Structure 1
């Protein structure tokens, strides 16, 4: 009976030893010695910062707009982790075709292909324009990309006492569409916590679970034939004149100041 007594884990959850043993065994079964990630998203709301959080150090520069993909590597809990940061797409204007081509090139920088695409979405107002922008840019990788995509919510600190589940329901069908496309896989990251932190390990475990369930990795060569040529005249958000997803200015976290320097950010 003593061995079956509930215990408190490092994360604060109460669990029984045999349950914890099953979870540990499951994690071990899914463990990948190498994890390859490509980070996608808008130009400024936490994309490159998320990459830095995973790496545990500042490798992706935030002070200027990135036009090219950048690859960096690190070790996390026995895994060799590769992170590719891509050019962020524009929220209120067309993304240049050169940016789109460079965006697609990111998948080939971690051969034979990324295990996961991390689609960074900032918590805040999510509009039809935002959904269209995501569809426009993620579709450049082909329809199969959604099998390898996880939504990563940044700036979740603005929710304060609101759960991420409630936020998702509140934002309605546009955000629901994105989550349904990737089988409702999502993760909340706190980019204010830098260096070694359990959240990075949990994110990689989420990636490993996805790989175990949906198989292997994204192969750029296999989906090349299904992609259509880039057409600058086909842009579902061309007429939009409002900003894309963004943290709410009344969040109390001083994020409005970050918005004032948006042109200088790589996000």
Structure 2
């Protein structure tokens, strides 16, 4: 039986350069005009330094620990990028309610919702306590937050010639659990490069894939919003009392030379508010 399908000939095949051009055009057509990112992680400079790396400049000051969520914006490759830096959580104790309230507020600071949460984890020893802290703090956003979360590994120079995949395997089930919860979405970034950063286009592409896979940006569900509205109002004195309680991580010596981060309160709070 003859087929109605025309025979393919060599003339029907596109040359490699034309294929690249069409692929680039397709990517541009599906490209998000804006990316909204929320940084999550411990009370140490690596999280906020990652925000500075994405922005290409020092917007989040490295003086002392952040007490408030702060929004900064930039343009990367003709696209608006919004970065929300949140207060870091504590290493060896439950995160105070004041900090939790401020972390969750990050969602409302990038309306209609963040495209991705970047969970910043330093390369180094990862313990069961670390996993528990991550699980505890992401639970504030509801179970769906994991669908929109990507692990960002920092201080990759510690790996030397070892791949990040090997590091994940060697660190054991706790780190593997976190990566699996994030659907094996992870990225490695060098925090010492500003400006034309070679790893940023790949990071943005991975964020766009999250949006495509999940059908859009993260939305905080009504029941989660209600739960958070019942938490105590922000108590500045309590925040100050807790400011010096523990920072992460002690195992990475290169982190110790960095100062913790200081971010000014937002005006609304001042006025009342992939081996």
CA contact under 8 A between 1:52 and 1:59: conserved in structure 2?
Answer: yes
CA contact under 8 A between 1:69 and 1:102: conserved in structure 2?
Answer: yes
Equivalent residue number for residue 8 of structure 1: none
CA distance in 1, matches of 2:147, 2:217: 9
Instruction: Note closer, same or farther for the CA distance 1:178–1:246 as it changes in structure 2 (3 Å cut).
Output: farther
CA distance in 1, matches of 2:86, 2:247: 20
SS where residue 63 of structure 1 aligns? coil
Cα deviation for residue 21 of structure 1 reads 4.5
Equivalent residue number for residue 118 of structure 1: 118
TM-score, length-scaled by structure 2: 0.78
Work out which of the residue numbers 241, 252, 255 in structure 2 matches 1:248: 252
Equivalent residue number for residue 41 of structure 1: 41
Deviates more, 1:19-28 or 1:109-118: 19-28
Aligned residues: 239
Equivalent residue number for residue 212 of structure 1: 212
CA contact under 8 A between 1:55 and 1:74: conserved in structure 2?
Answer: yes
Cα deviation for residue 18 of structure 1 reads 6.2
Cα deviation for residue 93 of structure 1 reads 2.8
Write out aligned runs for 1:161-240 (5 A). Answer: 161-222=161-222, 224=224
RMSD of aligned alpha carbons: 2.8
SS where residue 150 of structure 2 aligns? strand
Cα deviation for residue 24 of structure 1 reads 2.5
SS where residue 257 of structure 2 aligns? helix
Cα deviation for residue 143 of structure 1 reads 0.5
Equivalent residue number for residue 239 of structure 1: none
CA distance in 2, matches of 1:71, 1:204: 18
Equivalent residue number for residue 72 of structure 2: 72
1:178-212 CA distance string (max 9 Å, x none): 11111000010100101222322221111011101
CA distance in 2, matches of 1:175, 1:167: 9
Equivalent residue number for residue 55 of structure 2: 55
CA contact under 8 A between 2:60 and 2:261: conserved in structure 1?
Answer: no
CA distance in 2, matches of 1:163, 1:171: 13
Instruction: Note closer, same or farther for the CA distance 1:188–1:19 as it changes in structure 2 (3 Å cut).
Output: farther
Deviates more, 1:89-98 or 1:209-218: 89-98
CA distance in 2, matches of 1:256, 1:64: 13
CA contact under 8 A between 1:52 and 1:60: conserved in structure 2?
Answer: yes
Instruction: Note closer, same or farther for the CA distance 1:245–1:19 as it changes in structure 2 (3 Å cut).
Output: farther
CA contact under 8 A between 2:44 and 2:247: conserved in structure 1?
Answer: no
CA distance in 2, matches of 1:105, 1:205: 26
CA distance in 1, matches of 2:176, 2:159: 18
CA distance in 2, matches of 1:54, 1:69: 17
In structure 1, stretches of 5+ residues that fail to align are 6-15, 232-241
CA contact under 8 A between 1:127 and 1:244: conserved in structure 2?
Answer: no
CA contact under 8 A between 1:31 and 1:205: conserved in structure 2?
Answer: no
TM-score, length-scaled by structure 1: 0.80
CA distance in 1, matches of 2:99, 2:75: 29
SS where residue 90 of structure 2 aligns? coil
Cα deviation for residue 219 of structure 1 reads 1.3
CA distance in 1, matches of 2:22, 2:44: 40
